Structure 1
Amino acid sequence: MGDGSTTTIEASFETREAADIAVEHLVQQLGVSRPDIFIQPAADRNTAGLAPSGGDASHEEGARRDAPLEGEIQVSADVSLSQVGAVKRCLGEAGALWVSSR
C-alpha cells in the first residue's frame, strides 16, 4: 500500500466455502491484492466452519464427518481507507456473520 493509509477489515463466516467466495470477490471485483487477505479460524482450534459446505455437504453418503466443525472462519484484509465501505459491503453480500474494522 502506497501512502500507509490502510486499515484492517475483519469478517466472520459460517463456512469455509463462504469465506473463499468472499476472498474471490475482494480480489476479482475490488482489486484487493491477494497477499493482503488472510483466512484463519476465528478461535484457537482448526475448523472448516460451523456447518458442512461445498465438498463436505455433497458427499455421496451425506455430509462428511471428518472435517472439524469447530467454529467460524475469519477473513481479514488490509485495505486502503478509500476501499473500506466497498470491502465491508462485499463481505456482507458474501454472507459474513459480522464485519468490523480495526
Structure 2
Amino acid sequence: MPSTITAKFDTRREAEMAVERLVQEFQVERTDIFVTTDGDENSAGDETAGSDNAAAEPTTESRSDAALTGKITVSVDVQDDSSAANVRAALTEFGGSPQAS
C-alpha cells in the first residue's frame, strides 16, 4: 500500500547521508524523496555539522553563520511494506525518527 514516511534530522549532513543511503543501497528514486526545512526559514538544521564545525589546518576557525533555524525533514514515498522497512532503516541509521503518513 503506498504511503509516505517522514523523518526529521538535527543536521543537514544527517539528512543527506540518509538520502544517499536510500538512493545508493535501496535504489529509491530521487523523485520519491523530498527534503525540506521544518519551518518556513532556510535552515541547515538545529546543530552545526560538516563545514560549519571547526576545521583542521589551514583554517581552524569554526563558522558562525550557519542558518540553524530548525530541523531538516526528509519525506519518502513508498509503494510496499518491503520498501517501507528499508526506508525506515535508512532514516533511523542517520538519526531520524520515521513516521508514516
> What CA RMSD, in Å, does the superposition of the two structures yield over aligned residues?
1.3
Q: Match for residue 69 of structure 1?
A: 68
Q: Match for residue 28 of structure 1?
A: 24
Q: Match for residue 89 of structure 1?
A: 89
CA contact (8 A) 1:26 1:32 kept: yes
Displacement of 1:44 after TM fit? 1.7
Aligned pair count? 97
Q: Mapping of 1:1-102 within 5 angstroms?
A: 5-59=1-55, 60-82=59-81, 83-96=83-96, 98-102=97-101
Displacement of 1:58 after TM fit? 3.5
What is the TM-score when the length of structure 1 is the normalising length? 0.87
CA contact (8 A) 1:52 1:63 kept: no
SS at match of 1:64: coil
Where structure 1 has 5 or more consecutive residues not aligned to the other structure, the ranges are: none
What is the TM-score when the length of structure 2 is the normalising length? 0.88
Q: Render the CA deviation track for 1:59-99: whole Å, top value 9, x for unaligned.
A: 43432111210110000111112311121111101111x21
How far apart in 2 are the matches of 1:68 and 1:27? 26
Displacement of 1:6 after TM fit? 1.7
How far apart in 1 are the matches of 2:47 and 2:67? 9
- After the TM superposition, which parts of structure 1 deviate over 2 Å for at least 4 consecutive aligned residues? 58-63
Identity of aligned residues (%): 39
